[in-house]
Amino acid sequence: MPAFPGFPPGETPYTPLPEAFFTALLPEIEDIGELKVTLHLYWLLYQKQGTPRCASDRELLADPQLRRALRRLGDPRPYEERLRAALELAHARGTLLRVRVRVDGEIVTWYFFNTEKSRQAVARLLEGTLSPEILLELEGPLAALNTPAVYPLPAWADARDAEGNTDSALVSADTAEATPRQGLGSGEARPGMITPLAPPSDQNAPRYHSLRLEVERPNIYALYEQNIGLLLPLVAEELREAEERYPWEWVEAAFREAVQQNKRKWSYIRAILQRWEVEGKGGEPYGAHGRYSR
């Protein structure tokens, strides 16, 4: 490991950190990945312009500085997995807020620091009074992911809601199902929803994004912290694997049974899920309604 040569002389750029980071967060953070991601986000968001200040998961995946920071000798996990685990820990701690948007069929997650301004912005997104298109406009470089460029909607795509207000994105906070735009997919638009007209048939026209805000349901990390206690890094990966492996109804039922039996331990919940995987749950065999039932 090369030695750090020291800070350069003269005035250098700086990144301010709130006092609460040192007094409330730093004493509680145990995972080095969570600490590095938190500090990197302070640096990254401080450089951004506009509001709200946020960063997407695909933006972070394409960030060479963060990739370098999360390298650890002896850790066989790929960068994507280490980043995801660190973000989950920071979100579970309450350091970060997140919003998920379906962009052309792909779910993209944006992360915000848990500040008053960010809480207001997230609330407006969920209410539908702030378009998720603003998140795409604020997104950083994605060259490493070969992500299509974002363009503003042209005059022919003007749309109006039930009150006559114009907007450019189809937004709803009451469902996790996507409602396609007219001209961009099948399905009928519901009253009050924003429905741009079909674009002209120009193959050289830029690509316009179909956006849909996704309602985030409680995840296994939230269940763990609500019913067992502080989420530890060693447990986080096991939780993620269980959430992917078992139907969500089983996960909730296993936590509920552990609480009822006063066995608030992940090992007890894991044993319940493993038993149901072998024997079935309530006469229903494993995989009866799909592995990913959420």
* 166 vs 4: which has the higher pLDDT: 4
Query: Span 209-235, mean pLDDT?
Result: 77
Look up tokens 């998720």; give the residue: 132
Question: What does pTM read for this prediction?
Answer: 0.59
pLDDT surpassing 90 at residue 208: no
Distance CA 178, CA 41 (A): 30
Which residues lie below 8 Å from residue 146, measured CB to CB, with a gap of 6+? Answer: none
pLDDT computed for residue 200 by the predictor: 42
Collapsed DSSP state (helix, strand, coil) of residue 253:
helix
Query: Span 63-91, mean pLDDT?
Result: 91
- The residue extents of the domains of the chain are 19-145, 220-279
- 39 close to 94: Cβ distance less than 8 angstroms: no
Topology classification of domain 220-279: Arc Repressor Mutant, subunit A (1.10.10)
Helix (H) or strand (E) holding 22: none
pLDDT computed for residue 144 by the predictor: 40
> What whole-number percentage of the chain has pLDDT above 70?
71
Query: pLDDT tens for residues 28-41?
Result: 998 999 999 999 99
Collapsed DSSP state (helix, strand, coil) of residue 73:
coil
Query: Span 218-229, mean pLDDT?
Result: 81
pLDDT-derived band at 158 (thresholds 50, 70, 90) equals very low
- 172 close to 212: Cβ distance less than 8 angstroms: yes
Two structure tokens written together for 125: 């997104």
- 19-145 belongs to CATH 1.10.10.10: yes
| Fold matches, 19-145 and 220-279 | yes
Query: Span 69-76, mean pLDDT?
Result: 87
Distance CA 132, CA 143 (A): 21
* 56 vs 184: which has the higher pLDDT: 56
pLDDT surpassing 60 at residue 173: no
Q: How far is CA 225 from CA 33, 80, 90, 170, in A?
A: 19, 24, 13, 33
pLDDT computed for residue 210 by the predictor: 75
Distance CA 36, CA 27 (A): 14
* H, E, C per residue of 176-234: CCCCCCCCCCCCCCCCCCCCCCCCCCCCCCCCCCCEEEECCCCCHHHHHHHHCCCCCHH
Two structure tokens written together for 172: 């709803």
pLDDT-derived band at 294 (thresholds 50, 70, 90) equals very low
pLDDT computed for residue 217 by the predictor: 58
Distance CA 284, CA 112 (A): 40
Instruction: Report the chain's mean pLDDT, rounded to a whole number.
Output: 75
Q: Please state the separation of Cα 60 from the chain's center in Å.
A: 11
pLDDT-derived band at 211 (thresholds 50, 70, 90) equals confident
Helix (H) or strand (E) holding 19: helix 19-20
Is the torsion defined by CA of 87, 93, 95, 100 positive or negative? positive
Least confident of 76-85, 145-154, 215-224, 228-237: 145-154
Helix (H) or strand (E) holding 5: none
* 69 vs 211: which has the higher pLDDT: 69
